[in-house]
Each structure stands twice: as C-alpha cells, then as structure tokens.
Amino acid sequence: MKILNKLSNINIVKTLALLIPLLSSCQDFLEENPPGILTKSNFYKTEADAISAVDALYATIQSRTNGMYWGEFFSKTDVNTDDMFVDPGVGNVAWQEWGRLNIYPEIGQLLDVWNHHYLMIGRANAAIEYISTDLEIRDRLLGEAKFFRALAYFDLVRFFGDVPMTYSVITNLDDAVQIASTRTPSVEIYNMIEQDLLDAEKDLPDTWAGANAGRVTAGTAKGLLSKVYLTWAGEPLRDVSKYQLAADKAGEVVNNRSRYGYDLEDNYMDVFENDLSKESLFEGQMVQGLGNEGALAGIQFLPRNLTPILGPSYRGNALMRPTPDLINSYDPSDLRLQTAFFTSLSNADGSATATFDPHVFKYIEVEDILYQGLILNDGNRNTKILRFADILLIYAEALNEANSGPTTAAFDAIDEVRNRAGLIDLSTTLSQNDFREAVYLERRLELFAENIRWFDLVRQGRYISTMESFSNTLQDYPNPATASTMVIEKNVQSHFNLLPIPKSQLDILELEEDIQNPGYQ
C-alpha cells in the first residue's frame, strides 16, 4: 500500500506510457510477410525455383485443375465430328450440345479451353521473363517454356482463329483489357509459334531419361513444328509454302528416329497401355489416386450399362461413342478395329458379360480400374499429345503436297503405319489426290479419339461438308447390339470451322465493337 501511495501522478503516467503502443515509428508492423506463401519477389532466383516454375507448365497438360488435356479436350475435337457422338442417356447438357453441334458463345466448357491455354501462356511468360539470367540451365528451361507457349497458341489459333496475343507478363489492368481486346492475326501468331519452337529445338536435349523422362525434347519441338507447318499450309491460312517446311521438319524426326529414341510400337494398343513409350513424342502423365492427377478418359468412353457385371451403382459415362460411320470405315481385318474397340465386357471371373454397341477401348483399364478400385474417373492412362505415327502421317501428307504427288518416302511413312495395323502397303500408283485421301483416311483410322479429328477436318477444308453429309442411325453398325433406330444428330452450321470466343470473356471487355467470330454474334 505504501508503495502504491508513493507513486506520484508522474510515475503513473510514465508506467502507462510504456503500455501505449508506440508503433507509429515502426512501419513494419503493417508490412506483410506471408509465412506460408511464396511471392514473386522471393522466387525465380535459384535453379530449384526455376525448374519449379517450368514444372508448373507440365501441370497444365496433366492436372484436371490446371488444364484440359486430362479429358475435356475430347468434346471440342472428337465428339463434334463424324467420329463420335454422345450417348443419349447422358444428362450432361454441355456434352450433349457439343455432340449435336449446338455450339454458341456460352456453351459449357468453352471457357475452359480459353482459360487453360492462356494459363499455360501466362506460366510460360512468367518463367521466361523472371527466371534469373545467372542460371546455367536457363536456356534449356526457357526452351521447355517456349514449347508450351507454342503449344498453347497453336491450340488457340486452331480453335478460335485470330486471338489476343501476349509474349510478356501482364502487370497492369488496362494493359490486360487492351491486349484481350485485340485479336492478333493468325499469321503473326504462327510466326511467333515457329520462332518459339525453333528456339526450343535448339536449346533442348535430344532425349531425357529417368526422373526427367517425359520432358520436352528437341524431337518434341520438331514434331510439333512439323504439325504447325502442315496446319499453316492448310485452311484457313493456306500458305502452301509451308508444306515443304512441314515435310522437312517431320523428316528430321522420322529420319533421325534413333537419335530421338522414337519408333512405332509393335502393337497398336501398346501405344495406350504403355506410358512414355518409344512412340510417344509428348504426353500428359496421369496418375490415379492423387485427387487431381488422374485421367477422365476411361469413364468417358465406358458404356453406361454395365449392370450385369458391376451392379447398378457403377457405370460409364459414354460421353463418347464411336459412330457407325467410323466403325464402317475400317477394313474388318484392321487390327485397330479389333483391338481398340469393344462390344462386350466380362467381369473378373468371367461369370457375367455385358454386351453393347461398339465403344472405344483405347482408354479402358479393365484390370487396373474396373475390377479393382472402381474409381472410374481417375485413370492411369496418359494422354497422348503427339506420337510418332502422327509424325509419319504428317511426313507422308506434307511430302505428297510439297512434291505434287507421293514420293517413296511418303509411301514408306504411311505404309509403316498401315502395316502395324495388319494392312498391306498402298498401291504405288496412287495419284496425288488419291494419296491425299488415303492419308486422310489413315489419320482417321489411326488417330481417332486423340484430340485430332476436328483439327484435321478443318485443316483439310472439309469439316462442314463432311458433317453436312453425315447421317447415321444406331442401326448402321455392322452388328448392332440394340435395335435402336436413333438418329445421331449433327446439326452443323457454316461458321463452325472456328469456335466462338467465350461470351463471358467478351463481356469482361465491354467493347463497343463486337469482335466475336462470324456467325456467333
């Protein structure tokens, strides 16, 4: 008590003053230093940082939250063609609309196409711009990033035509709107794609192995570039001078196959059953059980009714079923028809069997998935983005166009693909036009359900006509499992050579002038 009484007013004030938060002087009280988050200012410095920045690009071709290569792609490239249709029982409105070609600027998943590709570009731009120039492996890493950037723009330009283009990181809101409002002519974008891929093939190694297997190589870049040239030469730009470049570039891959470690697998189904096989130039690696890293393809192609073998609870989505038109395009002896499609499935002990119209078997993991985990939408099969058979056919097609007729090398290339399918060599007397048709058909038979058909038809200038003449009922199958007379609806319109720019993206821009693709206004 005495002590307290001794305290004078002055002492009390002094004591309390100590409690006053004298924080006005220390500015860092309001400074943010996130303990659990990396920021731009403390990243991109070390080799580990830089590799990690590039690895984020691989996520865009594999993770279901970062990209569309895990399964969504099919609706824009296969189910909207004469190859595939959506099972009528599918409740997903967006898929049904893609299948019936009811395509409009708000259609479901269209935005994903747009977003995921610009995401890939944004990550590539950030890596290219920010990775420290002091790093020895910078050129190689930039090569990988440039490949992804080229891949993204190549997809975009094929889907949408002229698109907004940026080759640097956007940091300002006004810049973002300005860039997004400007549709850069496709040819300029092709020039940039070419440059990126040339850089990539220069700075990347020929092969990768071990923990790096699956990364982009010089061969990957060359292979993609050959496809870029071939597309550039076709519709709508029709720069036929690019056929020679396509042939040259494909030739560099085909004729140096041992250098890059490429070749055809012995059996067609090995391509799909094996990961990172020698036939693969580039693929999205899928892993089951991690949550977001598995493939959707299995359940997408699986028949809906598997009750006899799996009970009523489990079923496929049958988002994509092959049309009778595709099935009937095969020679009955074609090994691809025999192995890559199926019309029945038995349970593990063989005690029960479900039968159905033909469905695609390429992606169905019977042993691994169906009979065990039953996690149907989380598959292990990698998504093939670029494979050697594709390059062989590009080579054949480009040679035929560049040389006004098929060369020996062109025949060799297509026959290599045909022979594996159990088909005999093409007649060497084919005219340029007959050979062209033969390659077109071969591409369809070889590459079905691999995100290629729509691009091919458009490039070949015959998507609209093909779809206009398309007419199938389910009874058109050689051996229909059901007697359904259902007509497969494909309501093509003349402007469907390009997809519409997603409406919500245009809405953001608040433009006076409509920059939507023709026909979609």
Partner 1 sequence: MKNKLLLLHKEIIMYSFYGLVIQLLIGTVVLATEVTHAQKNASVKDTNISFQFTSKNLETVFREIEEKTDFTFVYTAKEIDTEIKMNGDYINAPLYEVLMDISKKTNLAFRQYNNNITVKKAAYTKRETTTEFVEIVQDVDISGKITDENGEGLPGASVVAKGTANGTTTDLEGNYKMEVPENSVLVVSYVGYITQEVTPNGRNVIDLQLQLDAAQLEEIVVVGYGTQKKSEMTGSVASIDNVAIADRPISNFVDVLQGNAAGVAVNSTSGAPGSGVQVRIRGIGSINSQIDPLYVVDGLPFTGSLNSINAYDIESIEVLKDASATAIYGSRGSNGVILITTKKGTNGLTIDYNGSYNIQSLRKKMDLLDATQYAQLANEAELAIGNPERYSSSDIAAFHNNGKGTDWQDEIYRNAIMQNHQISVRGGNEKMKFYMSGNYLNQEGIVKTSQFEKYTMRANIDADITKKLSVGNTLSINRQFNSGVAVGTTTRDNNGDSNVVWAALVTNPTLQIKDEDGNFNSNVPDPIFDNPVALINGNLRQSNTTEIIGSLYLNYDLFDWLSIKSTFGFGLLNSMEGKYTKKFIIGSSDGRAIRNTNQNSNWISTTQLNINKEFGEIHKLNATLVTEAQEVQDEAFSATATGFVVDNLLWNNLSSGSVAQTPTSSASKWSLLSYLTRINYVLNDKYLLTVSGRYDGSSRLAQGNKWYLFPSGALSWRVSEESFMSSVNAVDELKFRVSYGESGNQSVGTYNTLSRLTSVTAIIGANENQNIGFAPANFVNEDLTWEISKQLDIGADVTFLEGRVGLTVDYFNRKTEGLFFNKALPSVVGTTGVAATTNIGSVRNKGLELEVDATVLDVEGFRWDVMGNFTYTKNKVLALAENDTIITGFSGDFGNGSDSQILAVGGQLGVFQGYLNDGLYDSDASLTIDGSTRAPGDLKYVDVNEDGNIDSKDKVVLGTGIPNKFWGLTNTFGYKGLSLSVFLMGSHGNKLVNLTRQVTSLSLDGKSNNNLEVLNRWTPQNTNTNIPRATALRPSTKFSDSWLEDGSYIRLKTITLGYQLPQYMLEKLNVRMLKLYVTATNLITFTKYTGYDPDVSVSGSVTQQGFDQGVYPQVKSFMLGLNIGF
Interaction with partner 1 in 196-215: which residues (CB under 8 A)?
Answer: 209-215
The whole-angstrom separation of Cα 393 and Cα 391 is: 5
If the CB atoms of residues 60 and 77 are measured against partner 1, the closer one turns out to be 60
Binding part of the chain for partner 1, among 164-172, 199-207, 242-250, 437-445 by CB under 8 A, reads 164-172
User: Is cis: bond before 312, omega within 30 of 0?
Assistant: no
| CA 29 remoteness from chain centre | 47
**Single-letter amino acid, residue 185:** P
CB of 56 to partner 1, least distance (A): 3
Considering only 236, 289, 518, 519, the residue that binds partner 1 (CB under 8 A) is 289
CB of 223 to partner 1, least distance (A): 19
Residue numbers 313-372 binding partner 1 by CB under 8 A: 313
Contact between 483 and partner 1 per CB under 8 A: no
DSSP string for 245-310: HHHHHHHHHHTTHHHHT----SSTTHHHHSTT-TTEEEEE---TTSSSSSBSHHHHHS-S--HHHH
CB of 202 to partner 1, least distance (A): 22
Residue numbers 377-436 binding partner 1 by CB under 8 A: none
Considering only 139, 188, 255, 290, the residue that binds partner 1 (CB under 8 A) is 290
CB of 220 to partner 1, least distance (A): 13
The whole-angstrom separation of Cα 396 and Cα 439 is: 7
Q: Do 271 and 387 meet the contact criterion of CB atoms below 8 Å apart? A: yes
Residue numbers 494-513 binding partner 1 by CB under 8 A: 504-505, 508-510
If the CB atoms of residues 277 and 472 are measured against partner 1, the closer one turns out to be 277
Binding part of the chain for partner 1, among 110-118, 361-369, 397-405, 421-429 by CB under 8 A, reads 110-118
CB of 481 to partner 1, least distance (A): 17
Contact between 276 and partner 1 per CB under 8 A: yes
3-state secondary structure (DSSP) of residue 167: coil
Longest dimension (CA), the chain: 120
Contact between 37 and partner 1 per CB under 8 A: yes
CA angle in degrees (0–180, nearest 5) for 219-223-224: 120
If the CB atoms of residues 462 and 495 are measured against partner 1, the closer one turns out to be 495
- Position of tokens 């001794």? 6
| CA 58 remoteness from chain centre | 12
Length of the chain: 521
Reported as half-sphere exposure (CB side, CA atoms, 13 A), residue 101 has a value of: 23
Phi, psi dihedral angles at 430 (to 5 degrees) = -60, 140
CB of 66 to partner 1, least distance (A): 6
Q: In this structure, are strands 383-387 and 280-284 parallel, antiparallel, or unpaired?
A: antiparallel
If the CB atoms of residues 213 and 424 are measured against partner 1, the closer one turns out to be 213
If the CB atoms of residues 18 and 134 are measured against partner 1, the closer one turns out to be 18
If the CB atoms of residues 37 and 136 are measured against partner 1, the closer one turns out to be 37
Residue numbers 4-33 binding partner 1 by CB under 8 A: 4-9, 12-13, 16, 19-21, 23-24, 29-32
Contact between 123 and partner 1 per CB under 8 A: yes
Q: Do 114 and 505 meet the contact criterion of CB atoms below 8 Å apart? A: yes
If the CB atoms of residues 120 and 394 are measured against partner 1, the closer one turns out to be 120
CB of 33 to partner 1, least distance (A): 8
If the CB atoms of residues 13 and 513 are measured against partner 1, the closer one turns out to be 13
CB of 102 to partner 1, least distance (A): 5
Binding part of the chain for partner 1, among 111-119, 233-241, 255-263, 400-408 by CB under 8 A, reads 111-119
If the CB atoms of residues 38 and 441 are measured against partner 1, the closer one turns out to be 38
Considering only 45, 47, 109, 115, the residue that binds partner 1 (CB under 8 A) is 115
Q: Which residues contact 143 (CB under 8 A, 6 or more apart)?
A: 199, 200, 201, 202, 203, 204, 216, 221
If the CB atoms of residues 102 and 460 are measured against partner 1, the closer one turns out to be 102
Contact between 154 and partner 1 per CB under 8 A: no
Contact between 243 and partner 1 per CB under 8 A: no
Considering only 286, 320, 391, 499, the residue that binds partner 1 (CB under 8 A) is 286
The whole-angstrom separation of Cα 284 and Cα 288 is: 13
Contact between 486 and partner 1 per CB under 8 A: no
Integer CA distances (angstroms), 481 to 118, 322, 326, 357, 521, in order: 43, 14, 17, 5, 42
If the CB atoms of residues 138 and 462 are measured against partner 1, the closer one turns out to be 138
Integer CA distances (angstroms), 339 to 28, 197, 309, 421, in order: 67, 35, 21, 10
- Position of tokens 């100590």? 18
If the CB atoms of residues 40 and 238 are measured against partner 1, the closer one turns out to be 40
Buried b (16+ CB within 10 A) or exposed e, 329-354: bbeeebbbbbbbbbbebebeeeeeeb
**Other beta carbons less than 10 A from residue 437's beta carbon:** 13
Contact between 293 and partner 1 per CB under 8 A: yes
